[in-house]
Copies of this chain bind each other. A is one copy, B any other.
Amino acid sequence: MAYRSTERVKARLSASRERIVAAALEVMAGHGYAGCSVAAVAEHAGVATGSVYRHFPTKADLFAEVFRTASQREVDAVARAAALRATVAEQVSAVIETFSGRALQSPRLAYALLAEPVDPAVDAERLVFRRAYAELIAGYVAAGVASGELPPQDPGLTATALVGALAEAMVGPLAAGVAGPSTIPSLIMFIHRALGVSP
């Protein structure tokens, strides 16, 4: 024998793989999913089109991972912000502020992650994204119910509905590129009422 995969090569391979995912994310942030042909992503990553298929069996698999990565980053940021707060009311405010602040920072990406028409296989990943948010929030809601800060309710349903409300309220502003000054405070009020936070 004369060739055997070595650490150095493995590292280069995984670096290359990551560069492709990062490039896909950047192209998506710049031109939406619609602008993400495999050729465009490959060029942005500085590899040949065919090389993408060394790492991902199909385009859908690549973008499933892109969505997973980006979603995780978003959920983590939101979770980190909420973890600093003590009451459910504050935690949920932090969720909304962080979510919408980040979305407005990269509206194209946020739109792609939330609502842009994508391949059905990638769409499935979107549901995971939304469920991750819902589960994060459901935890806070459940704690709030247990401590008596919130009235009795189904934390899962509350969280799901809350994610829907948040996403829907942001789609308009995302299309416009900015939110009106009262959008975020109004949304917080709405959601505090929905949770049953005592005034």
Contact = CB atoms under 8 A, between A and B. Distances in A.
Interface of A: 34, 116-120, 123, 127, 130, 151, 153-154, 157-158, 160-169, 171-172, 182-183, 186-187, 189-191, 193-196
A190 B163 CA distance: 13
Chain copies in complex: 2
A104 to B, nearest CB: 16
A118 to B, nearest CB: 6
Give chain A's interface secondary structure class: helix
28 contacts: A116-B123, A117-B119, A117-B120, A117-B123, A151-B193, A153-B186, A153-B189, A153-B190, A154-B182, A157-B169, A157-B186, A157-B190, A160-B168, A160-B172, A161-B166, A161-B168, A161-B190, A161-B191, A162-B165, A164-B164, A164-B165, A164-B166, A164-B168, A165-B194, A167-B168, A193-B193, A193-B194, A193-B195
Given A164-B164, A168-B167, A187 B34 contact: no
